[in-house]
Amino acid sequence: MSDSIYRALKGLSRKENISHNAHSNLPNQFEIKIYLSYLTSIIVAIVVAFLWQITQLEQFKLTSLILLMLGYIGIIIHPAIIFFLRRKEIRDSIKNPLAVLYNNAKLNDCFDKKYMSFLHSKSLEDLEFTLLEVKAERIAFEKRTSLLVGSIERVGFAPGVLALLISLDKLNEIELDWVLSIAYAIPILYFFGAFSHILATKLGRHIAIIELVIEKKKVQVHSTRN
């Protein structure tokens, strides 16, 4: 049945996350947590901005803008923070860039083989049907993401930073106009787009694994017939 294949794929995804965290020099899910802190600051800023619009109180306006600026500052300096925390890994990657990539690939090698062995025990028909469904889901997911965020991950935070700077230039008269709205919206859209891209990449890897298993089974069937 295909249910066991889907369970195996979910287990594979979980193993990948565990392996990544286990071999990282940073605390468990540190990068995700620090990104969430930036995102939380911006979300709270949006909530306070709504309160500002309802009450027209200056305290809410200033609080919202400060939280928004803190979120942007965190986003901007994040690469420097990660660079400092991962300085040993970066130093090693400069010495031998490909070695780092190969080590990353090696992390998944052991349990990939285990799950591929399990998938190989399933019928070719179930594997092909699962592959069809997973591919279709990936295409649909990418299209939904594209409709929501477009190509914002390519543009980055620059439009939001620019919109914030333009708004702060007239701080005393600042209103929640379309320019400031861009400053609030861009980080949320970017985070969603980046997260969706990561999911699509992982899904693509699982598709490649299923395709490899199917190819092996077809070769096995062909050899048996001969």
Checking if the pLDDT of 47 tops 80, the result is: yes
The answer to whether residue 98 sits within a structural domain is no
- Residue 160: give the domain boundaries: 123-226
The answer to whether residue 216 sits within a structural domain is yes
Pair 129, 212: CB distance under 8 Å: no
Average pLDDT over residues 85-90: 72
Please check whether residues 140 and 195 belong to one and the same domain. yes
Residue type, 63: T
The answer to whether residue 155 sits within a structural domain is yes
Please check whether residues 166 and 218 belong to one and the same domain. yes
Residue that is written with structure tokens 């709504």 in the block: 50
d(CA 195, CA 135): 19
Report CA-CA distances (Å) from 165 to 12, 43, 131, 160: 44, 19, 47, 9
d(CA 115, CA 210): 10
Q: What is the pLDDT of residues 188-221, one digit of tens each?
A: 887 887 788 888 888 888 888 888 888 888 887 7
The answer to whether residue 195 sits within a structural domain is yes
d(CA 15, CA 115): 10
- pLDDT band at residue 152 under the 50/70/90 scheme: low
The answer to whether residue 196 sits within a structural domain is yes
The answer to whether residue 146 sits within a structural domain is yes
The answer to whether residue 181 sits within a structural domain is yes
Short-list 225, 226, 68, CA closest to 161: 68
Q: Is the entire prediction scored with pTM above 0.95?
A: no
Count structural domains, the chain: 2
Average pLDDT over residues 70-84: 81
Please check whether residues 71 and 147 belong to one and the same domain. no
- pLDDT band at residue 116 under the 50/70/90 scheme: confident
Please check whether residues 132 and 202 belong to one and the same domain. yes
The answer to whether residue 132 sits within a structural domain is yes
